[in-house]
């Protein structure tokens, strides 16, 4: 965030702040941890930690309070976001509506706002989101360090290449950044980041997430970082050719998994005549609520088999330690476990069958994309170079 700084000075600043950046990252991964616990986790001496905390406090990044007593030993302290510290903004634009949040260095979502879509016009949706983000900016001014947007679609840089659920093609999101750093990513990919850092996959070094709503999407993370590809459009799992129906997908390809798995596919199979993705997801949720694992309907069994087969394909390709699933995927697996398990096992490479990675239900669910967006914004706002700029070393 100081692009004009000479490389040697920038490198010096990065070295000066790299351990402090590690402390801040470990802190937000575990905001309840005491200072003593973080010191141990980062393999620091207590003296080094004392120096770091003094710098972070003087730099308006974190402050301290007494930690709850834990029995014997010296009382420790707990870290808190500094009351004048940096903040990031996040927005999540889904098929049904949008939500925004502000977060400090602990990554907790605060001041949530949101609305539902009156129509799917990019202008009206983006105007509403931008007005809300600008409200935070007026309130917090210089404290806002980055903005991060989650959107249900394929993104390349700050551009929505296509979104089937919103009906958007080639929509630019840069107005949401107000001239500051702006990150834009797919919602399911961000949900995977959230699970890897704060949810069911936080113990896994490599994890894969699959979110199923209208269609399927996901992402994989290594050491908590998403694998985004050259342009940010990686991990379009819904557009892998795992679908058997010869139907052309909205992306332009034939045979996408997205056309076979999710509310859109189930609504088509059940011949439900519905107006759009919101109605489809609602109707399919109601239909699933009436299903029983004792006698799942053929359409549900087909969904479970497709889910199992596709997840096995992802495991063969990505080699994750752990898989998380969210949205309709959790219900589909729960309601037709036999069909899921058989298809899953059959599609796994044989050497994996005896010990496949666990497939867990996600923990963050609807908050996942917003939490993931905050995480990536804080990566940017709290990088060593950004910390140096924040404390005014330019």
Q: Where does this chain bind Zn ion (CB under 5 A)?
A: 239, 249, 251, 253, 256
**Nearest distance, CB of residue 237 and Zn ion, angstroms:** 10
Containing H/E element for 323? strand 322-327
CB closer to Zn ion, 259 vs 343: 259
Give buried/exposed letters for 95-119 (b at 16+ CB in 10 A, else e): bbebbbbbbbbbbebeeebbeebee
**Nearest distance, CB of residue 260 and Zn ion, angstroms:** 10
**Nearest distance, CB of residue 31 and Zn ion, angstroms:** 39
Q: Looking at beta carbons, which pairs linking 274-280 to residues 24 or more positions away fall under 8 Å?
A: 276/95, 277/95, 277/96, 277/164, 277/165, 277/213, 277/214, 278/95, 278/96, 280/214
CB closer to Zn ion, 67 vs 253: 253
CB closer to Zn ion, 267 vs 382: 267
**Nearest distance, CB of residue 387 and Zn ion, angstroms:** 41
CB closer to Zn ion, 2 vs 253: 253
**Two tokens, residue 202:** 């936080």
**Two tokens, residue 260:** 């076979």
CB closer to Zn ion, 187 vs 379: 187
Beta strands at 154-156 and 144-151: parallel, antiparallel or unpaired: unpaired
**Nearest distance, CB of residue 95 and Zn ion, angstroms:** 16
Length of the chain: 394
Cβ-based neighbours of 40, under 8 Å, separated by 6 or more: none
Task: Tell me the C-alpha distance between 255 and 8, whole Å.
Answer: 51
Q: What is the dihedral of CA 255, 313, 203, 328, to 10 degrees?
A: 40
Contact 88, 369 (CB under 8 A): no
**Nearest distance, CB of residue 369 and Zn ion, angstroms:** 20
CB closer to Zn ion, 239 vs 380: 239
Grouping H, G, I as helix, E, B as strand and the rest as coil, residue 346 is helix
**Nearest distance, CB of residue 216 and Zn ion, angstroms:** 10
CB closer to Zn ion, 112 vs 254: 254
């Amino acid at each position: 965030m100081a692009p004009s700084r000479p490389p040697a000075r920038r490198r010096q600043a990065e070295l000066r702040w790299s351990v402090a950046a590690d402390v801040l990252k470990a802190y937000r991964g575990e905001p309840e941890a005491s200072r003593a616990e973080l010191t141990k986790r980062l393999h620091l001496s207590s003296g080094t930690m004392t120096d770091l905390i003094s710098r972070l406090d003087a730099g308006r990044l974190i402050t301290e309070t007494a930690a709850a007593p834990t029995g014997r030993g010296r009382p420790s302290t707990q870290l808190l976001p500094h009351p004048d510290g940096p903040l990031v903004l996040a927005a999540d634009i889904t098929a049904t509506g949008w939500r925004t949040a502000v977060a400090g260095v602990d990554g907790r979502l605060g001041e949530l706002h949101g609305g539902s879509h009156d129509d799917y016009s990019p202008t009206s949706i983006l105007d509403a989101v931008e007005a809300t983000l600008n409200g935070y900016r007026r309130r917090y001014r210089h404290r806002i360090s980055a903005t991060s947007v989650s959107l249900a679609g394929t993104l390349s840089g700050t551009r929505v290449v296509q979104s089937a659920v919103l009906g958007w093609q080639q929509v630019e999101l840069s107005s949401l950044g107000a001239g500051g750093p702006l990150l834009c990513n797919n919602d399911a990919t961000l949900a995977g980041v959230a699970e890897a850092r704060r949810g069911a996959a936080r113990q896994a070094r490599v994890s894969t997430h699959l979110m199923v709503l209208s269609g399927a999407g996901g992402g994989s993370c290594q050491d908590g970082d998403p694998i985004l590809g050259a342009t940010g459009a990686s991990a379009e799992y819904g557009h892998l050719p795992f679908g058997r129906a010869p139907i052309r997908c909205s992306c332009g390809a034939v045979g996408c998994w997205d056309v076979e798995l999710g509310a859109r596919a189930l609504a088509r199979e059940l011949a439900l005549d519905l107006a759009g993705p919101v109605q489809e997801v609602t109707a399919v949720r109601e239909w699933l609520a009436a299903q029983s694992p004792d006698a799942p309907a053929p359409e549900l069994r087909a969904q479970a088999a497709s889910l199992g087969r596709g997840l096995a394909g992802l495991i063969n390709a990505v080699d994750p330690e752990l898989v998380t699933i969210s949205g309709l995927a959790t219900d589909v697996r729960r309601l037709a476990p036999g069909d899921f398990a058989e298809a899953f096992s059959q599609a796994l490479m044989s050497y994996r069958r005896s010990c496949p990675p666990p497939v867990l239900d996600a923990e963050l669910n609807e908050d996942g994309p917003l939490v993931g967006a905050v995480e990536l914004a804080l990566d940017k706002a709290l990088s060593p170079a950004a910390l140096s700029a924040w404390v005014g070393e330019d």
